[in-house]
Amino acid sequence: MSRPTWETARDSEVESSRDSAPVPGVLVVWSDRAPRLIALRIPAAGLVLGRETLADAHDERMSRQHARVSWAGEQVRVADLGSRNGTHVGGRQIASIEVAAPAPVVVRVGRTVAVAVDDVRAFEGATVTTGDGVVGPTLRAAWSAVERAARGGRSLLVTGESGVGKELAARAFHRASGVSGELVAVNCAAIPAGLAERLLFGTRKGAYSGADRDADGYLAAADGGTLFLDEVAELDLDVQAKLLRVLETGELLALGAARPRAVQLRVVAATLRDLRGAVAAGRFRDDLYYRIGRPEVRLPPLRERLEEIPWLVAEAIASRGLPAHPSLIEACLLRPWPGNVRELIAEAARAAHAAFEGDRPAVRAEDLDEQAGRAHVASAAAEAAEPARPRSVGLPDDDTILAALKAEGGNVSRAARRLGVHRNQLRRYLGKHPAAAALAGGEAGDDLSDD
């Protein structure tokens, strides 16, 4: 007897819902002195990181069973399994305890660095490519949308923070378009207001005092190709009106010209501003927005593309001939990088220079400037609004804290490392718990052992 159609459809919906459920996992992003991308699912019993499960990592400093990563509700739980070199969680070393934090969580075992994420499916079987920029699976999804836009239309709006790679997206659009002309990139924010019209639309001899010859503008140069208007929101309203006419009529009238010339071009506009908000505020023409504002593709910031960071760092320091210590990769993964790829590359190169000048064998976390990759905050309120990153770990229960203090002879810094928390967190706890404070002894500075 066949099942009712409605029941089959319901079962299909249930199965689809199961398939769409996130799958927690671990991404191995660095091992054996090189960037990697290995995606592993976290089973119900937890995932053991070690030479037994990561044989391809070839990490001689990793124990056979080094640490266990498990998933509990909305949190990642990490426990060291008595490893020889210890386990680092969020930049802090833990020992015989289990710590928990919301995903993503950066874990370092031996010379291997991994990131625990709440959904690993997009990374399974994926790769990170290099060449025209470093592209991982997160960014590749955005680029796929860019390429679809190129095949289906003549314009695209790319949004995202400074340094996320908007020009690379324009190049991807240009390649996917299959046009024979050039890609002409224009930084609208760098054009002086009085020169924008001349530079964009070109001039004819005698158009103004000193115009002694004809000069083509950026639009003429992009004829048959693609015009990339970076920071398009910075264009003057009068220039916006003239640009709209060119795009709608396909005719370009240079300053001082008697007749227009026909042009064919595609347009990629980019901005880090809210363009719809600029329209509402009267700073951007609504008719131009309707012409170039759709489709829109947002490029994710680097803190949403953690899998790319080790590859970018490796490329940035390669010229110095020094390898990256895993502590450097770990430190870079833990910072929000408000300047995104541009900032990361510049700061990694500076760290490599510092290591080279110091005659050190590898570029370590301490070679990275303390302020590199950190958000610019002007007040406590702004600091509270800084994007969350996988750094803080909550304090464990009282008995665990007392046991750690006793094991470390009352040394607050070492006890904090054992607990996997910042020593300031532990100090604040001690200020409220006199019994625990009585166990606290001398202070020791943090270090980064060569593990």
Q: How far is CA 31 from the centre of its chain?
A: 20
Q: How many CB atoms lie within 10 A of CB 153?
A: 12
What is the reported pLDDT for 347?
97
The answer to whether the CB of 269 falls within 8 A of the CB of 292 is: yes
Position 209 in a domain:
yes
What is the reported pLDDT for 19?
58
The answer to whether the CB of 134 falls within 8 A of the CB of 315 is: yes
Position 235 in a domain:
yes
What is the reported pLDDT for 57?
67
The answer to whether the CB of 386 falls within 8 A of the CB of 377 is: yes
Instruction: Encode pLDDT of 224-282 as tens digits.
Output: 999 999 999 999 999 999 999 999 999 988 876 778 889 999 999 999 989 999 999 99
Among the candidates 62, 95, 123, a domain finishes at 123
**pLDDT over threshold 50, residue 442:** no
Position 212 in a domain:
yes
Instruction: Encode pLDDT of 49-75 as tens digits.
Output: 998 888 776 788 888 999 999 999 889
**pLDDT over threshold 60, residue 96:** yes
The answer to whether the CB of 60 falls within 8 A of the CB of 54 is: no
Q: What is the identity of the amino acid at 340?
A: N
The CATH number covering residue 198 comes to 3.40.50.300
Q: Which residue has the higher pLDDT, 450 or 318?
A: 318
Instruction: Encode pLDDT of 137-182 as tens digits.
Output: 999 999 999 999 999 889 999 999 999 999 999 999 999 999 989 9
Count Cβ atoms within 10 A of the Cβ of residue 424 and give its class: 0-12 exposed, 13-18 middle, 19 or more buried.
exposed
- If DSSP codes are grouped into helix, strand and coil, which group holds residue 271? strand
Q: Which residue has the higher pLDDT, 435 or 366?
A: 366
Q: Cis bond leading into 104, ω under 30°?
A: yes
pLDDT (mean) for 81-93? 91
Position 161 in a domain:
yes
Determine which helix (DSSP H) or strand (DSSP E) holds 239, and give its type and residue range.
helix 237-249
Q: Which residue has the higher pLDDT, 192 or 151?
A: 151
Q: How far apart are CA 295 and CA 145, in angstroms?
A: 9
Q: How many CB atoms lie within 10 A of CB 261?
A: 15
The CATH number covering residue 115 comes to 2.60.200.20
User: What tokens does 339 get?
Assistant: 């300047």
Lowest mean pLDDT among 159-163, 331-335, 431-435: 431-435
What is the reported pLDDT for 394?
58
Q: Which residue in this structure is represented by tokens 């079987």?
A: 125
Q: How far apart are the first and last CA of the chain?
A: 65
Partner residues linked to 117 by β-bridges: 25
What is the reported pLDDT for 137?
94
Q: How far apart are CA 98 and CA 46, in angstroms?
A: 12
User: What tokens does 68 get?
Assistant: 């266990």
Position 389 in a domain:
no
What is the reported pLDDT for 392?
40
Lowest mean pLDDT among 7-21, 190-204, 337-351: 7-21
Q: How far apart are CA 403 and CA 385, in angstroms?
A: 35
Q: How many structural domains comprise the chain?
A: 2
Position 106 in a domain:
yes
Are both 78 and 144 inside the same structural domain?
A: no
Are both 157 and 107 inside the same structural domain?
A: no
Position 145 in a domain:
yes
Are both 103 and 145 inside the same structural domain?
A: no
Are both 141 and 233 inside the same structural domain?
A: yes
The answer to whether the CB of 426 falls within 8 A of the CB of 404 is: no
Q: How far apart are CA 370 and CA 392, in angstroms?
A: 17
Are both 66 and 147 inside the same structural domain?
A: no
Residue 339, φ and ψ in degrees, nearest 5? -85, 0
Residue 215, φ and ψ in degrees, nearest 5? -145, 120
Quick one: pLDDT band at residue 114, thresholds 50, 70, 90?
very high
Are both 287 and 156 inside the same structural domain?
A: yes
Strand-pair category, 34-41 with 47-49: unpaired
Position 334 in a domain:
no
CA dist list (Å): 15 to 2, 9, 10, 23, 43:
19, 10, 9, 15, 20
Q: Range of 32's domain? A: 20-123
Are both 68 and 205 inside the same structural domain?
A: no
Query: Helix, strand, coil proportions of the chain in percent (round to 5)?
Result: 40, 20, 40
Instruction: Encode pLDDT of 127-144 as tens digits.
Output: 999 877 788 999 999 999
What is the reported pLDDT for 208?
66
Among the candidates 274, 298, 322, a domain finishes at 298
DSSP 114-178: EEEES--GGGTT---B-SSS-B-HHHHHHHHHHHHHHHH-SEEEEE--TTS-HHHHHHHHHHHHT
Determine which helix (DSSP H) or strand (DSSP E) holds 316, and give its type and residue range.
helix 309-317
Are both 215 and 98 inside the same structural domain?
A: no
What is the reported pLDDT for 391?
40
Are both 187 and 287 inside the same structural domain?
A: yes
Q: How far apart are CA 48 and CA 79, in angstroms?
A: 9
Instruction: Encode pLDDT of 344-383 as tens digits.
Output: 999 999 999 999 999 999 999 999 999 999 876 554 444 4
Are both 119 and 143 inside the same structural domain?
A: no
What is the reported pLDDT for 24?
96
Lowest mean pLDDT among 141-150, 209-218, 228-237, 392-401: 392-401
Q: How far apart are CA 292 and CA 266, in angstroms?
A: 10
**pLDDT over threshold 80, residue 404:** no
- If DSSP codes are grouped into helix, strand and coil, which group holds residue 100? strand
Are both 104 and 173 inside the same structural domain?
A: no
The answer to whether the CB of 75 falls within 8 A of the CB of 100 is: yes
What is the reported pLDDT for 8?
42
What is the reported pLDDT for 81?
93
Name the CA radius of gyration of the chain, rounded: 27
Are both 209 and 240 inside the same structural domain?
A: yes
What is the reported pLDDT for 211?
61
Strand-pair category, 25-31 with 34-41: antiparallel
Percent of the chain with pLDDT over 70: 86
pLDDT (mean) for 417-446? 68
